[in-house]
Chains A and B, each alone.
Chain A
Amino acid sequence: MAENLQNIAADWLQKYGDYLYRYALLRVRNEAVAEDLVQDTFVSALQGYSNFAGKSSIKTWLTGILKHKVLDHFRKDFREMATEINDELRDELFDERGHWQVDLADWDAPDSQLDKQQFYQALQHCLDRLPKDAAQLLVLKTMDNLSADECCSLFGYRSTNHLWVSLSRIRSRLRQCMDVKWFNQ
């Protein structure tokens, strides 16, 4: 039995380790934390393997466990950040009357350009330049379709209105950075 599990664990690590690591890294944006989350996922999976009903693929099952671990990580790591983001990301694109102060360039972006590794690097660069936790919030909201209530409780927002304003400012800042870094270089 132990030998059998040994083989199963080695197989998981080899087949899904990298995928799970990328999943975690994209969300927590910290290599050591991502590695730990992958490790915890495999440990939990081994402990619960006898209950795995085989209704989904192993990959889906493991990803589901990791998703919970990622959310738990943010729950434990809870801090008041909401006001920080909104203060830090004031909009400078508009005048006092709410009109554009600048003209936006047209992004001519064929899909093939967006699949390039350089594009990915530019995006990572811009995500890294956002205030603490802003990229994590945006990624979780966008990729995992977290509900507004979950986002508020994980990231310390008092109301969904604050959350929408934050997400809008985060996207605006990301857009500005990508405008410089990628589209109009």
Chain B
Amino acid sequence: MLKCHDVTELVSKGLDTKLGGWTRLKVSLHVFICKNCQRYQKQLNVLQGTFYRIEKVSEHIVLSSDAKQRISKILEKEINK
């Protein structure tokens, strides 16, 4: 019988690699009857998903004009080498 602590580690591991069939089944059964582990799994999935949305919500972050100027000069030098 898996403990909640084991389940949280396996839920995370399952995001990174494919779990074995038997382990997957044990995790699913535990999550089915344990409210906290169910929420934990859902929340890790939400967090995992947010990484793919970061691009969408970070468009306000841009290179400063100073950095652009500096890079521009370096590239000019590189071209005229």
Interface residues of A (CB under 8 A from B): 2, 5-6, 9-10, 13, 17-18, 21-22, 25-26, 35, 38-39, 42-43, 46-47, 91, 93-94, 97-100, 103-107, 109, 114-117, 119-120, 123, 139, 141-143, 148, 164-165, 167-168, 171-172, 174-175, 178-179
Q: Are A46 and B12 in contact (CB under 8 A)?
A: no
What 1/0 flags go to B56-81 for Cβ under 8 Å of A?
11111111000110111011101110
Whether a CB of chain A sits under 8 angstroms from the CB of B42 is yes
- Chain A residue numbers with a CB within 8 Å of B43 are 104, 107, 175, 179
Q: How far is the CA of A171 from the CA of B9 in the complex (A)?
A: 10
Q: A98-B3, A100-B4, A175-B44 are in contact. Are A148 and B71 (CB under 8 A)?
A: no
With contacts A13-B75, A103-B36 known, is A164 near B13, CB below 8 A?
Answer: yes
Say how far A135's CB is from chain B's closest CB, in angstroms. 11
**Cα of A42 to Cα of B63 in the assembled complex, Å:** 14
Tell me whether chain B's interface is mostly helix, strand or loop, or mixed.
Answer: helix
List the A side residues contacting B63 at CB < 8 Å: 17-18, 21, 35, 38
Cα of A17 to Cα of B37 in the assembled complex, Å: 42
CB atoms of A6 and B12 under 8 A apart: no
Cβ A114 vs Cβ B40 within 8 A: no
A17→B71 contact, CB < 8 A: yes
Chain B: minimal CB distance from A92 (Å): 11
> Are A26 and B4 in contact, CB atoms less than 8 angstroms apart?
no
**Beta-carbon contact of B9 and A168 below 8 Å:** yes
Contacts A43-B75, A178-B47 known; A171 to B67 CB distance under 8 Å? no
